[in-house]
A and B are shown apart, each in its own frame.
Chain A
């Protein structure tokens, strides 16, 4: 019952719980369907008629775990429309804010939601009785991410300091130095996390994914880059709609994203990692190799290791940014509204988050389109279930259900709380 209330907590943003149905006939998986309900459609309508400068705070409300992603894709899209470039310390502060979000979001998923699957527990509370040291580390790691969000964003959930053009207030250098010690601890804890999760047993399952992520000339991607894939796609963000489409699927109120060629694709840590391994810091690369990962990982169960590597990178990157930080003269650059279209895509913890806006001359939003990562990954989740469940049919229903839930949780879907309550319907007749 209590877990159901987690779902209620998300109800305003998720509208429902996850469910899936697997149909098996004569020992063969005929179909695997996942139904989830994505909230941003409400927001797209809500945004119409509002001013562009309200959008970062409205969109932050889409998600309590990754509000920074929604804010960042928003401001980049608006700045694209208005022809504004935000660079120097303000750009670095945006990356720093994103570091905080990756740390808290990934730590939450690794320790609280995903690790129990690998260690054979129903949830983190049971796991904590036997793995208290690890759970304490996860809680403390998440807290460092939250504190970074508070420091840059003004508060840890739904930050209030982000605006089109920069920030309302830029932190003083001494304020950033105040969190350095915690981040150094967090970097060590992240390294321990990589080693810890690398010791889990992973089902030997590989898939030939179409990975899609941002790629930047110099950086592991948070805020900027071209949209690339491992199949040769290499486009500016403004061409997203020409290559991807959202389809209504009858069984779900959520839209499914596919490449216009019809393929499903994968966004998120596995995709980012495979397409940007060379952009990770040396420490993160070394930790990944020591954990047994190649520069491309196609086993979705090992996404937990990749997430841990990304936490390590985020700590490393945050320390680099703080070390080099020079206080900006102004907290934001001047923005002048004009009638235009704007496109933005950034890397939410769960993957590519695309925004498109049509703006009137005074900066009022005429049209908004938001494509969250979980929406883009739905088809891929179903493909995983369809591909893998056939190999597990000898398991009893309870064990099979658990394995299916674990498979869904590989994606850290935004309904991850709800997927704890995944209703499974296996039709074996």
Chain B
């Protein structure tokens, strides 16, 4: 990696054994081998201190998580959390939602939030142990993956302009 290149990370959050909760990790898996090599790709359980540790070392981060806001299953929402906190109520049903929201706020309080920090939240329908992922969420995974790919392309282009 060139010395002036910023550290970019993609984090898929969730528990793959709890139905739609694994949506974030599925997006990351869908992008395997399809992103520039210098983008670090991680799959995490959602434990807050773990996420903070990753955010502390990043200049740009995109996190993908499942959420439950009452929208139709498979709906994807994009949040730029650099200026606004992640709306916590969306993540109330997730087995780990508090992890992402708290991690972002802890990183912000420490002054360690990456300059670019985006969260994609995919609306889930079922989160029970051992359940398979629901059809609407499975259908949303490649769409979100495509958007994330574009986000990283734009980040790289912007970086080149800045340089």
Q: Does B140 contact A (CB under 8 A)?
A: no
Interface residues of B in 6-31 (CB under 8 A from A): none
- Would A139 and B88 count as touching, CB distance under 8 A? no
Q: Does A5 contact B (CB under 8 A)?
A: yes
A243 to chain B, nearest CB (A): 37
- Would B99 and A9 count as touching, CB distance under 8 A? yes
- Would A1 and B89 count as touching, CB distance under 8 A? yes
- Would B97 and A2 count as touching, CB distance under 8 A? yes
Alpha-carbon separation in the docked complex, A2 to B129 (Å): 21
Alpha-carbon separation in the docked complex, A143 to B48 (Å): 12
- Would B91 and A5 count as touching, CB distance under 8 A? yes
Classify the secondary structure of B's interface with A.
helix
- Would B49 and A139 count as touching, CB distance under 8 A? yes
Residues in B neighbouring A143, C-beta threshold 8 A: 49, 53
- Would A139 and B109 count as touching, CB distance under 8 A? no
Alpha-carbon separation in the docked complex, A8 to B56 (Å): 26
Q: Does A45 contact B (CB under 8 A)?
A: no
Residues 34-50 of chain B: 1 if any A CB is under 8 Å from the residue's CB, otherwise 0?
A: 00000000000111011
- Would B98 and A126 count as touching, CB distance under 8 A? no
Q: Does B1 contact A (CB under 8 A)?
A: no
Alpha-carbon separation in the docked complex, A178 to B138 (Å): 40
Classify the secondary structure of A's interface with B.
helix
- Would B93 and A125 count as touching, CB distance under 8 A? no
Alpha-carbon separation in the docked complex, A317 to B15 (Å): 34
Interface centre among B46, B88, B98 (most CB of A within 10 A): B98
Alpha-carbon separation in the docked complex, A387 to B113 (Å): 44
B13 to chain A, nearest CB (A): 12
Interface residues of A in 101-147 (CB under 8 A from B): 108, 112, 124-126, 128-129, 132, 135-136, 139, 142-143, 146
Residue of B nearest to A6 (CB): B98
Q: Does B111 contact A (CB under 8 A)?
A: yes
Q: Does A28 contact B (CB under 8 A)?
A: no
- Would A5 and B106 count as touching, CB distance under 8 A? no
Residues in B neighbouring A139, C-beta threshold 8 A: 49, 52-53, 56
Residue of B nearest to A65 (CB): B47
Residues in A neighbouring B110, C-beta threshold 8 A: 128, 132, 135-136
Q: Does A3 contact B (CB under 8 A)?
A: yes
Q: Does B125 contact A (CB under 8 A)?
A: no
A116 to chain B, nearest CB (A): 12
Interface residues of A in 350-396 (CB under 8 A from B): none
Could you list 7 A-B pairs, sorted by A, with CB under 8 Å? A1-B92, A2-B97, A8-B95, A12-B129, A128-B110, A129-B109, A143-B49
Count residues on chain A whose CB falls below 8 Å from chain B CBs: 25
* A157-B45 CB under 8 A given contacts A1-B89, A2-B91, A5-B98: yes
A135 to chain B, nearest CB (A): 6
Interface range on chain B: under 10, 10 to 19, 20 to 34, or 35 or more? 20 to 34
Q: Does A91 contact B (CB under 8 A)?
A: no
Residues 45-66 of chain B: 1 if any A CB is under 8 Å from the residue's CB, otherwise 0?
A: 1110110110010000000000
B48 to chain A, nearest CB (A): 8
- Would A108 and B49 count as touching, CB distance under 8 A? yes
Q: Does A172 contact B (CB under 8 A)?
A: no
Alpha-carbon separation in the docked complex, A143 to B56 (Å): 13
Q: Does A205 contact B (CB under 8 A)?
A: no
Residue of B nearest to A10 (CB): B95
Alpha-carbon separation in the docked complex, A157 to B47 (Å): 10
Residues 101-126 of chain B: 1 if any A CB is under 8 Å from the residue's CB, otherwise 0?
A: 11001100111000000000000000
Residues in B neighbouring A112, C-beta threshold 8 A: 49
Kindly identify which residue among B89, B91, B97, B106 contacts A128, using a CB–CB cutoff of 8 Å: B106
Alpha-carbon separation in the docked complex, A124 to B105 (Å): 10
Residues in A neighbouring B129, C-beta threshold 8 A: 12
Interface centre among A4, A139, A142 (most CB of B within 10 A): A139
Residues in A neighbouring B91, C-beta threshold 8 A: 2, 5
* A2-B49 CB under 8 A given contacts A125-B109, A135-B110: no
Kindly identify which residue among B53, B88, B89, B106 contacts A124, using a CB–CB cutoff of 8 Å: B106
Residues in A neighbouring B95, C-beta threshold 8 A: 8-9, 12
Residues in B neighbouring A5, C-beta threshold 8 A: 88, 91-94, 96-98, 101
Alpha-carbon separation in the docked complex, A2 to B102 (Å): 8
Residues in A neighbouring B96, C-beta threshold 8 A: 5, 9
- Would A132 and B111 count as touching, CB distance under 8 A? yes
Residues in A neighbouring B88, C-beta threshold 8 A: 1-2, 5
* A142-B109 CB under 8 A given contacts A2-B91, A9-B96, A9-B98: no
- Would B47 and A128 count as touching, CB distance under 8 A? no
Alpha-carbon separation in the docked complex, A113 to B89 (Å): 22
Alpha-carbon separation in the docked complex, A407 to B144 (Å): 46
Residues 1-45 of chain A: 1 if any B CB is under 8 Å from the residue's CB, otherwise 0?
A: 111111011001000000000000000000000000000000000
B55 to chain A, nearest CB (A): 11
Alpha-carbon separation in the docked complex, A213 to B45 (Å): 33
- Would A128 and B109 count as touching, CB distance under 8 A? yes
Residues in B neighbouring A12, C-beta threshold 8 A: 95, 129
Residue of A nearest to B95 (CB): A9
Interface centre among A2, A108, A112, A125 (most CB of B within 10 A): A2
| 17 new A-B contacts at CB < 8 Å, known A128-B106, A143-B53 | A2-B89, A5-B97, A8-B92, A8-B93, A8-B94, A12-B95, A125-B106, A126-B109, A128-B109, A129-B109, A132-B109, A132-B110, A135-B106, A135-B109, A135-B110, A136-B110, A139-B52
